[in-house]
């Protein structure tokens, strides 16, 4: 029922609210994306005064292949799933979303579930559009499908059902008929079409095909959903200049190796890693027992390098003053 542009519940929406609150109350973790989707669909249906100026009417968002293709109307393409014809239509879809969304979001996490839902929405709408155009070109089916008007979240729900049941070996009850879970979406497609002839057959079929395509793409991208793979790829490309700059500038940073540094501060060092020569004040690695510059031993003996020298330049009879002079010449001081 609609009063002054605002819909008034006939009793089913309070039941939906009670069912949702009860379900979330018993859950140890409350899936936020599922709750947000239910709230968004419900608010768009009720059209309260505070959001009415910001959302189009249902007449502006009907999914109609002819209008979408002719005018490139993306508003109809993306918004039509969030609109519903009546209270029973909304409540049935939202209860289905609650059951499927809680299981999927709990198992895969909110971020991946959100990206998957966006992907499935775009895929289901696109496949439905493609099917309608193909039927028009191949069989001239203009009135039944190409000029059909439809709204509702059921196409996305069929896609979610395919994903949810893809790995299940169990059986499920579809309107009183027991079928393998992985074929439940196909059984529901046929039964709904028989029991409710006015529903969008192409919309539901597009949802099933979108779910199957998503699983195929998901298998081909090593377990990550297509949107996440695209986001990771874009992030990698954008971060490439930063990584290159880090590598370039990082390679010019001063490094402390086993050769030590000249004239550095001893603050923060331990005698086990760095020791300072008493003769020439060079900081040597703790792995060395003699000074690398002047040959003075670690304990202060100026003849400590005699066993390690092979050049007459560093003979043992050099005085400390001569060693300091050669150190200055070596470093250009």
Catalytic residues: 154, 204
Number of H helices, E strands in the chain: 11, 6
Residues 177/187, Cβ–Cβ less than 8 Å:
yes
Strands (E), 31-151: none
Tokens 């200049």 locate to 241
Question: What backbone torsions phi and psi does residue 51 show, to the nearest 5 degrees?
Answer: -115, -5
Q: Which of 34, 32, 294 is nearest to 164 (CA)?
A: 34
Take residue 211 and report the two structure tokens written for it: 């779910």
Q: Which residues contact 158 (CB under 8 A, 6 or more apart)?
A: 124, 185, 188, 189, 204, 207, 208, 211
Q: ∠ CA(207), CA(130), CA(154), 5° rounding?
A: 20
Q: Which residues pair with 178 in a beta bridge?
A: 173
* HSE (side-chain half, CA atoms, 13 Å) at 37: 29
* HSE (side-chain half, CA atoms, 13 Å) at 116: 30
- What is the rounded distance in angstroms from the CA atom of residue 60 to the CA atom of residue 62? 6
Take residue 253 and report the two structure tokens written for it: 């940073």
List own/partner pairs for 29-32 with CB under 8 A and 24 or more apart.
Answer: 29/106, 31/101, 31/102, 31/105, 31/106, 31/110, 31/113, 32/110
- What is the rounded distance in angstroms from the CA atom of residue 165 to the CA atom of residue 115? 19
Residues 1/76, Cβ–Cβ less than 8 Å:
no
């Amino acid at each position: 029922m609609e009063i002054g542009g605002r819909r008034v519940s006939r009793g089913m929406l309070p039941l939906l609210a009670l069912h949702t609150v009860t379900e979330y109350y018993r859950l140890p973790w409350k899936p936020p994306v599922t709750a947000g989707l239910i709230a968004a669909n419900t608010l768009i249906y009720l059209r309260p005064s505070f959001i009415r100026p910001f959302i189009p009417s249902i007449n502006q968002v009907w999914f109609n292949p002819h209008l979408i293709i002719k005018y490139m109307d993306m508003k109809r393409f993306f918004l039509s799933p969030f609109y519903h014809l009546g209270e029973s239509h909304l409540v049935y879809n939202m209860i289905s979303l609650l059951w499927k969304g809680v299981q999927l979001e709990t198992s895969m996490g909110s971020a991946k579930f959100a990206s998957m839902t966006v992907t499935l929405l775009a895929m289901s709408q696109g496949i439905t559009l493609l099917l309608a155009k193909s039927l028009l070109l191949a069989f001239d089916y203009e009135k039944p499908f190409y000029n059909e008007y439809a709204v509702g979240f059921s196409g996305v729900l069929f896609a979610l059902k395919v994903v949810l049941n893809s790995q299940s070996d169990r059986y499920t009850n579809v309107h009183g008929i027991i079928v393998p879970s992985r074929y439940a979406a196909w059984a529901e497609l046929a039964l709904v079409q028989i029991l409710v002839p006015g529903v969008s057959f192409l919309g539901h079929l597009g949802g099933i095909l979108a779910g199957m395509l998503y699983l195929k793409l998901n298998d081909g991208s090593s377990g990550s959903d297509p949107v996440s793979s695209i986001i990771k790829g874009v992030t990698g490309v954008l971060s490439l200049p930063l990584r290159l700059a880090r590598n370039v500038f990082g390679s010019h940073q001063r490094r402390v190796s086993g050769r030590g540094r000249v004239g550095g501060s001893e603050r923060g060092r331990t005698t086990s890693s760095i020791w300072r020569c008493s003769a020439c004040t060079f900081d040597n690695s703790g792995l060395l027992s003699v000074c690398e510059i002047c040959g003075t031993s670690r304990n202060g003996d100026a003849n400590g390098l005699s066993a390690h020298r092979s050049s007459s330049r560093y003979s043992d009879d050099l005085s400390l003053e001569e060693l300091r002079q050669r150190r200055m010449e070596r470093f250009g001081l």
